[in-house]
Amino acid sequence: MPATPDPAHAKPSPTGESRPRIAIIGGGAAGFFAAINTAEKNPAVEITIFEAGHKPLQKVRISGGGRCNLTHHCFDPTRLVEFYPRGQRELKSLFARFQPKDTVKWFEQRGLKMKTEPDGRMFPRSDSSGEVLELFHALAKRHGIRIHNQSRVEGIQKTDTGFEISTAQAVDQFDLCVLATGYSPIGWELAKGLGHTILPPVPSLFPFTIHNAVLTDLQGIALTQAKGKLVVKGTHKTETFTAEGPVLITHTGLSGPLIYRLSAWGARALAESRYQATLTLDCLPTQSEDALRDTLQARFMHTDGKKKLGNISFPALPNRLWQALLLESGAHLEEKAELIGKKTLNRLVENVKRLPLQVTGKSPSKEEFVSCGGVALKEVDFKTLQSKRVPGLYFGGEILDIDGLTGGFNFQACWSAGWVISEALKDI
């Protein structure tokens, strides 16, 4: 444990205290990481975390189904920012100073070993978020960080000497303030009250509601790789978004990484269109249309020509989906394959490569605690994460108009922000 600083040598505080006082609003990933790293680098400060809930770090606790997806195994900042629909330029600056490689080193130096799964997600080796919570609480206690639970901040006033923080329990004075309230209307209202612009939040990372005969009774079928093009017609313009990845057929439409990527990049456009859009799905992106047509023609006319169409499988696609696409294309499953007409064959190729689907809404999702929106990025100095409008005010994590895909990316943005804030506060 760091030695308690000698009050005679403590740095002066504008509030008149012997130790500079920092208020961190929000007991989540960004808030705790900023608090712990600031305390490690600058033992002279006094840090208080205000958490509105009964317990802090609740999102950390439930992340990854309780396993805690801490970050992603992508150690190239230029590639890493591609997983964030908003804030890429700003995040590149943060990741240049603290990226997933540094996150792994930080946790492992403090005794928490990590592992990487085949899809790149990184978890504690124990598969337990409890280990992360225990570490954070132990470090907070070691460094004397005060944690006030059930202390919702009702107001922040900028004063000549710092900030006046009001809760239902008390009013207190602080030299500096860090807003790290996550996707919370409370945090956005506090920032707005201090003169910041808030981009209206809208949901991101959600499945699509699609009613189409092709998908009927196919719930649970997945494509390991597909490509999608989403066309959203807005009031003033039409926007197109593309993505690749696995896709899952659900009882209400489509889900999976491909759909989450499209919903993330198209979040604002989809909200404006009231979640009405056209999705074109390429079920077999590894083959061109010409190659697929040649393959099918060879099978239908020669290899399996005497078989009934309904008895022919196509290993590149799940069989039930393949059968549904045959029917959608006008094929008669009881006919011999060699009797398939050119028109039907062409329709089948088109449906495999460009299946048209109408998106009519968004489906509920456990991932929909992610939204885009928040404090406008142009109003924040990303060298320090200090407000350009209010000196001494800092922003960390998801209160900003920054959001990432699933896979540990949102937590990484929080760790990087907390680290950069601690660098800015280490010499106050």
Amino acid 364: pLDDT: 75
Place 350 in a pLDDT band, splitting at 50, 70 and 90. very high
Amino acid 10: pLDDT: 38
394 and 330, same domain (yes or no): no
pLDDT (average), residues 41-52: 97
Digit-coded pLDDT (tens) for 63-92: 989 999 999 999 999 999 999 999 999 999
175 and 231, same domain (yes or no): no
243 and 158, same domain (yes or no): no
Residue 225, domain member (yes or no): yes
Q: Measure the CA–CA gap between 222 and 245, rounded to whole angstroms.
A: 11
Residue 1, domain member (yes or no): no
- Residue 106 sits in a domain of what CATH number? 3.50.50.60
166 and 210, same domain (yes or no): no
Is residue 290 predicted with pLDDT exceeding 90? Answer: yes
Is residue 17 predicted with pLDDT exceeding 80? Answer: no
Distances from the Cα of 135 to the Cα of 64, 171, 333, 376, 388, angstroms: 18, 30, 61, 32, 33
What is the bridge-based pairing of β-strands 393-395 and 176-179?
parallel
Range of the domain at 407: 7-202+368-425
176 and 269, same domain (yes or no): no
360 and 399, same domain (yes or no): no
Digit-coded pLDDT (tens) for 291-305: 999 999 999 998 999
16 and 95, same domain (yes or no): yes
Percent of the chain with pLDDT over 70: 95
Digit-coded pLDDT (tens) for 387-428: 999 999 999 999 999 999 999 999 999 999 999 999 999 999
User: Which tokens belong to 10?
Assistant: 């403590």
Where among 344, 366, 388 does a domain terminate? Answer: 366
Q: Measure the CA–CA gap between 90 and 172, rounded to whole angstroms.
A: 33
Is residue 370 predicted with pLDDT exceeding 80? Answer: no
Is residue 11 predicted with pLDDT exceeding 50? Answer: no
Q: Measure the CA–CA gap between 224 and 238, rounded to whole angstroms.
A: 29
Q: Measure the CA–CA gap between 359 and 247, rounded to whole angstroms.
A: 15
Average pLDDT, the chain: 94
Amino acid 115: pLDDT: 98
Amino acid 14: pLDDT: 52
288 and 396, same domain (yes or no): no
Evaluate whether 124 touches 67 at the Cβ level (below 8 Å): yes
The answer to which of 211-215, 226-230, 370-374 has the lowest mean pLDDT is: 370-374
What is the widest separation between alpha-carbon atoms in the chain?
95
Distances from the Cα of 295 to the Cα of 287, 300, 309, angstroms: 10, 9, 15
Amino acid 8: pLDDT: 31
Residue 2, domain member (yes or no): no
Number of structural domains found in the chain: 2
Closest to 29 (Cα-Cα) out of 58, 64, 54: 58
R_g of the chain, CA atoms, integer Å: 26
278 and 324, same domain (yes or no): yes
219 and 242, same domain (yes or no): yes
Amino acid 83: pLDDT: 96
Place 9 in a pLDDT band, splitting at 50, 70 and 90. very low
211 and 197, same domain (yes or no): no
352 and 399, same domain (yes or no): no
